[in-house]
Structure 1
């Protein structure tokens, strides 16, 4: 027997072009502006904290102001908690809408193909009998056989288990459980 060796050459994607001088300058300018804004925000927050500390410590009403602020914050938190609880109890639960008749769901199914005549045709026939539409199909070749990846639009009544049964009765082996695409 004669053994033939096949060699393949890898095609390397071309590297993205280097940024122009104007693009590099724009990035530096943008970075400099962002850093300046962040630094200014730090200075403003430190100044505000210093002002509050001086009012509390050196002011003649400092401790009273601090206690009043704490009580106002506590009262606001209690009111918010009461309000959220009150309105949550009085709301009627909204049931999930039932799918409309004829509504469909999108599924992704990956399966290996047995190398047999009409294997794909059997799977397609099984899908068609259950009103399952093949939105997209891509085949990934392997050394022995192939992996088929299907995107299916199926009626809501069909579950992942039902789709798995359709695929396996059609002559494919599932790689993983069918996944519902949101």
Structure 2
């Protein structure tokens, strides 16, 4: 149980103690025992009754009233948590025609989904839209997939995500570019972080062409090893993402050349 409010706890203790004190004093005054006996009787009896009998009984009897504010706050917090929105990241391919995105947003609105972020990537088969949406906790991936499919979406992928997905993409790219300038060796880690991909370290698989050819593999030049290969199963890379990764590779190469030129000039 939540801790009761101090005022309510004080009132409850007074309500428990006063009747006992009143009854004992009335009985002692009626019997007129010796003074020392009166004091000892009142002190021992009152203490024993209050500590072991009256106060615990009063706390149980007044429990709902005592803890009412805390219980209300706890219920309110629980309701807020259970009704809190869920965040989802969605990737979907749409035809590059007027009204396609509007139809998708209407289908999502039917689920009370709120679009918090949107990026559009042109691809050969239309446009690849990446959205971050919040939904009521009762809406799951199946409902989102059905709504997006009814809007004409293709190659749909839906993942639970966090508020980190709402970080501005341009700011993130600039931060990673600054990291690569400071240390060109960070290129592979920066690209993996930027694209949410995994660096392929199995060079034999790369050489023998064992990696998927469905657009989920990306190759970028490396200033020191010749080539970096990244994969992202289930999520084909868009042309815009490929351009960003190649631009980071150019930044790393320029930074490395500057590092090599500076010692030579000095």
Q: TM-score, normalised by structure 1?
A: 0.43
Higher helix share: 2
Who wins on radius of gyration, i.e. which is larger? 2
